[in-house]
Structure 1
């Protein structure tokens, strides 16, 4: 987790994006540095994954992997708190 500002520990429910990407929230992603760290963490651990992370909406979208457990593990290892499970 970066030191840009205080991070929240709240989480919310994830959703499955219409294009097949897994979409979920990371409430403690507060800035571009956080988004970059999360993107690198997922793409570095899951070959072929393409990640977009938006700190304004706190949404992360992952294409190229349906393994939410592996995605969640990568986000947690980077120091962030992903939502509990994707739905849909």
Structure 2
């Protein structure tokens, strides 16, 4: 069981909810809603994840996505209890199925677009 986040997590995210619903079993979904080219071959892919509530949720999803081949960085705009936006930065396209699997292993699933 994780503890409620204070003002800001180590990732620089603020948990507005101040409560953790991890372990409540109500983790839902996330899916790619945009892909944009970055500088010097960098690709930024955006996904939506529903149900993340705290910094612990963000850490779990970030850890799983960071382990996917080709992912250079992961950033999360946490919307506690709502739909959070995730951006993956990579040097090559990351297959959506790999993203879906990683998010699923963290206890969530991609939102269908």
| Count of aligned positions | 84
User: Which structure's residues are more often helix, by fraction?
Assistant: 1
Whether the 8 Å CA contact 1:14–1:25 is kept in 2: the answer is yes
C-alpha RMSD of the superposition: 2.8
| 5+ residue gaps, structure 1 | none
TM-score, L = length of structure 2: 0.59
Higher Rg: 2
For residues 16-54 of structure 1, give each alpha carbon's deviation from its aligned partner in whole angstroms, at most 9, with x where no partner exists: 246431101101222111111101001123344310112
Does 2:72 align with 1:44?
no
Which contiguous aligned blocks of 4+ residues in structure 1 show a shift greater than 4 angstroms? 10-13
Q: Structure 2: any 5+ residue segments left out of the alignment?
A: 4-19
Per the normalisation by structure 1, the TM-score is 0.72
More strand by share: 2
